A and B are shown apart, each in its own frame.
Chain A
Amino acid sequence: MPSRTIAACLLALALASPERALAADPGPREIESVVSGKALYVQHCTTCHGIDGKALIDVIANATDLSDPTAYYSGTRPEQIFTSIRNGAGVAMPPWRSQLRDEEIQHLVSFILSLWPQGRE
């Protein structure tokens, strides 16, 4: 990923931070994981969950509002989110295991956690 993009993503995260759930002082590895997760998210997830994760485009059935952990159906622990992505969930969410490596799914989990309101992690 070009460095300008990483900078842009970090900036976007920083700007939108008041309600973000990254650890108070995220380390470089965590930030990098969020950035990688965001790139994957933009590529694979936005058509159902929306650019902001809020799933406000009512197109694909019942996509979860990822920014609101109280709305999750299949668990909010990182390993549960990982499993939902890997194996699919509900009726509409397909399993991604054949298209994404476990490491990539891990990055997606990091990015999804970063969408939560502060203090919910």
Chain B
Amino acid sequence: MSENDTARLQSRRDFLRTSAIGVGAAAAAGPSSLAFAADMGETEIPSIRLPEDLTTSLAEDPSPGKFEGRGQSGAEVFANLCKQEELAGLFCCPGNYTVINALAAAGIPAYGGRSEGSMCAMADGFSRATGEVTATSGTEGPGFTNMIMNIAAANAARTPLLVLASNMQIAGEDRERAIQTVYQQPTTEGIKKYGKRLIDPKRVHEYGAYAFRHLKSGVPGPVHLDFPAEVSRARFKDPGELTDFHDKSRYRTESRAHPIPADVARAVKLIQEAERPLIVAGQGVFQRRGWDALKRTAEKSDIAVATSGPSRGTFPDDHRLCTMTAPGCLMSADLVVFVGQYCMPSPGEYLFNPDIKAIRVHPVQEDLGRNWPLDLGIVSDEALFLEMLADELPRKKRGPWVTEIAAAKAAYQTQLDEVYGLGLKYSKDTGYLHPAVIARDTQHFLDHDADDRDAVVMGIGGWTSGLFGGRYARANRPANLIVPAYQYGAIGPDMAMMMGVCAAVQRGVGPQAGYEGAPTLCITSDAGMAYSLFELDTAIKYGLPTITIVYNNNAWGVWPHAARSARSMHMYLFQENLRYDQLAEGLGANGEYVRTPQEFNTALARSYRLARDEKVSSLINCQAIKEFTSGRAYPPGVSMNPEPGCGAVAH
């Protein structure tokens, strides 16, 4: 840490002390507090710090439930099953106490935070970064319903998310006994893969198995279990008291669908006949860790590759065959091979020629032919298909296709450079930061100034900020980039989601192995702050080094909707010049306020050092103006990005 950084951190603490005298003490003291605060004089305001109990508790050894002695509770039976299934993490707020305590005791890495919705987004982020099953939990009723937006986002992203919640007592069903009962399962209708209210204590293990069968087979998605007290607190002294108390090797299988050789032969023939074939490697390729096979296949026959899904980098953006930054060549492709494209676009949504031939490889037969008419549908595990295809494909060079991809990349880069130039000009003209500058300079910093450009996982959300950010951000290894808005388009969860990603990086889980210690970086928006900002407390509590760049344009970026509706604009606006950096300081993070490209780059470099060296999270408040969204006033303004490609959020 440089002297400058130390001085800054010190001054941040000083600021906290002084501001807390004015605000914190006044608030604590009640109505007549102002005079009282003034009387306090030199009273020392304690600085923000971690509670001792936190450190002690994190150092405790696991102590899973046992049948011996008092026996184990239903919650412990379930927790032990989760441990056996290597549940990667739990992100929750207090509530569903018996279950979260049992999961923590069983040795599942657990994180507790400030709001259930954000913790759910963190669990989703952890899974997007690793492909692993993660859990979220909240209390019956309010905690659970607070999660809804982010369960839906996880569902749209096909995240293997285990949603847990307590739900009062079976004995109180339909009686509104005590408080908080809600019919949970109907609430998640349409936003889960599987769900069950557990109503028979002795079947708790059996339904745990149901949950993991769904989480770990086929196309993943959220599984929602709600636990009445009769189930979580039941006690069992003997395995014989539980139904279907089998080991995971007996209640589910790791067997996967292999493609039949005749199908692979037909695929090879179509690829051989094509001049400009393109693979769209969807989320299934990431989930099944098929990235090596993907590369081998593409390189063997000069097949172009685009990736799609909520985690980017399954195929490196900087590869000569990658079209993520070459939208101009997509119309020339004459064959597309969708592999593991879970969320299927319809023709017209991908920038392909209407004549393009299509092969689709998917683990579930029922989905083949949905939305996109096929020339060949193949039921197969994604990785196994790619392995087999790589073996069977003859070597082939496709010079003109490769040249066209390179030209399209160059043309796109020229476009990006032009927009960056405009962004610099607009920033200079107005004295406020344009989103193209934030986006481009962030990626430039990672490429040139970070210790290891691939170590930092970036996530990009917000509307104007997100659509600009996505164009400039690059992914060069699996889950190097997260797309928080993927398909569901929620504003707000991104900052929290990236904290879950950060937890995965710190633990080095799955493709994040080897990058432990690296910070994560999130570009997001001022609207998003209302949803996730408070989780800075959680990031700091657990030493998760996050950097959040807030594009602060004083507005919901969709304000142009009000342009022709005179009495509407107020609904789209916030107070101007809000200080998210100061709010971050109040939560114990480093806050930065910037308005020029120079200030931004300095703040980013300092935030990176603080994250890397001190595990301190930072928030960089980039003051902008809402008018940058307008294509008329500041062209090109905001627009959706072509798909499949960088910056895509829909599929």
Identify which of B353, B558, B631, B639 contacts A88 (C-beta below 8 A): B631
Contact A2-B640, Cβ < 8 Å, known A46-B348, A61-B560, A88-B632:
no
Contact in complex: B632, A91 (CB < 8 Å): yes
Residues of chain B contacted by A47 (CB below 8 angstroms):
639-642
Chain B at the A interface: SS class? loop
Query: What CA separation (Å) do A59 and B560 show in the bound complex?
Result: 11
Q: Does B351 contact A (CB under 8 A)?
A: yes
Minimum CB distance partner of B627 in chain A:
A91
Q: Does B171 contact A (CB under 8 A)?
A: no
Q: Taking the nearest CB of chain B, how far is it from the CB of A90, in angstroms?
A: 6
Q: Taking the nearest CB of chain B, how far is it from the CB of A46, in angstroms?
A: 7
Contact in complex: A48, B639 (CB < 8 Å): yes
Query: What CA separation (Å) do A91 and B348 show in the bound complex?
Result: 26
Q: Does B355 contact A (CB under 8 A)?
A: yes
Identify which of B353, B558, B632 contacts A90 (C-beta below 8 A): B632
Query: What CA separation (Å) do A94 and B639 show in the bound complex?
Result: 9
Minimum CB distance partner of A8 in chain B:
B354
Query: What CA separation (Å) do A90 and B632 show in the bound complex?
Result: 7
Residues of chain B contacted by A88 (CB below 8 angstroms):
631-632, 635
Q: Does A56 contact B (CB under 8 A)?
A: no
Contact with B along A4-15 (1 / 0, CB 8 A): 110011000000
Contact with A along B620-651 (1 / 0, CB 8 A): 00000000011111011111111000000000
Contact in complex: B561, A93 (CB < 8 Å): no
Contact in complex: B631, A92 (CB < 8 Å): yes
Query: What CA separation (Å) do A95 and B634 show in the bound complex?
Result: 10
Contact A91-B563, Cβ < 8 Å, known A2-B355, A51-B348:
yes
Query: What CA separation (Å) do A70 and B353 show in the bound complex?
Result: 32
Q: Does A60 contact B (CB under 8 A)?
A: yes
Query: What CA separation (Å) do A76 and B452 show in the bound complex?
Result: 55
Q: Does B564 contact A (CB under 8 A)?
A: yes
Query: What CA separation (Å) do A62 and B572 show in the bound complex?
Result: 14
Q: Does B331 contact A (CB under 8 A)?
A: yes
Identify which of A43, A60, A73 contacts B639 (C-beta below 8 A): A60
Contact A92-B635, Cβ < 8 Å, known A2-B355, A8-B354, A51-B348:
no
Identify which of B561, B635, B638 contacts A95 (C-beta below 8 A): B635
Q: Does A23 contact B (CB under 8 A)?
A: no
Number of interface residues of B (CB under 8 A): 26
Minimum CB distance partner of B415 in chain A:
A99
Residues of chain B contacted by A60 (CB below 8 angstroms):
638-640
Query: What CA separation (Å) do A47 and B636 show in the bound complex?
Result: 14
Identify which of A4, A46, A48, A95 contacts B632 (C-beta below 8 A): A95
Residues of chain B contacted by A5 (CB below 8 angstroms):
353-355
Q: Taking the nearest CB of chain B, how far is it from the CB of A24, in angstroms?
A: 26
Q: Taking the nearest CB of chain A, how far is it from the CB of B224, in angstroms?
A: 29
Contact in complex: B640, A59 (CB < 8 Å): yes
Query: What CA separation (Å) do A61 and B348 show in the bound complex?
Result: 21
Contact in complex: A42, B563 (CB < 8 Å): no
Minimum CB distance partner of B633 in chain A:
A91
Contact in complex: A73, B564 (CB < 8 Å): yes
Contact in complex: B560, A62 (CB < 8 Å): yes
Query: What CA separation (Å) do A42 and B331 show in the bound complex?
Result: 10
Contact with A along B339-382 (1 / 0, CB 8 A): 00000000010010111000000000000000000000000000
Minimum CB distance partner of B418 in chain A:
A98
Contact in complex: B348, A42 (CB < 8 Å): yes
Contact with B along A77-121 (1 / 0, CB 8 A): 000000000001111111100100000000000000000000000
Contact in complex: B355, A8 (CB < 8 Å): yes
Minimum CB distance partner of A58 in chain B:
B561
Contact in complex: A90, B563 (CB < 8 Å): yes
Query: What CA separation (Å) do A51 and B349 show in the bound complex?
Result: 8
Q: Taking the nearest CB of chain A, how far is it from the CB of B519, in angstroms?
A: 32
Minimum CB distance partner of A97 in chain B:
B635
Q: Taking the nearest CB of chain B, how far is it from the CB of A11, in angstroms?
A: 10
Query: What CA separation (Å) do A90 and B629 show in the bound complex?
Result: 12
Query: What CA separation (Å) do A25 and B635 show in the bound complex?
Result: 38
Residues of chain B contacted by A4 (CB below 8 angstroms):
355
Query: What CA separation (Å) do A31 and B260 show in the bound complex?
Result: 46
Contact in complex: B355, A93 (CB < 8 Å): no
Residues on B lying within 8 angstroms of A by beta carbon are 331, 348, 351, 353-355, 418, 558-561, 563-564, 629-633, 635-642
Provide a sorted-by-A list of 18 A–B residue pairs whose CB atoms are within 8 angstroms: A39-B331, A47-B639, A51-B348, A59-B640, A62-B564, A73-B564, A89-B632, A90-B632, A91-B631, A91-B632, A92-B560, A92-B637, A92-B638, A93-B631, A94-B632, A94-B636, A95-B632, A98-B418
Beyond A9-B354, A91-B633, 7 additional contacts (C-beta under 8 Å) are A5-B354, A42-B351, A47-B639, A48-B639, A62-B560, A91-B560, A94-B637
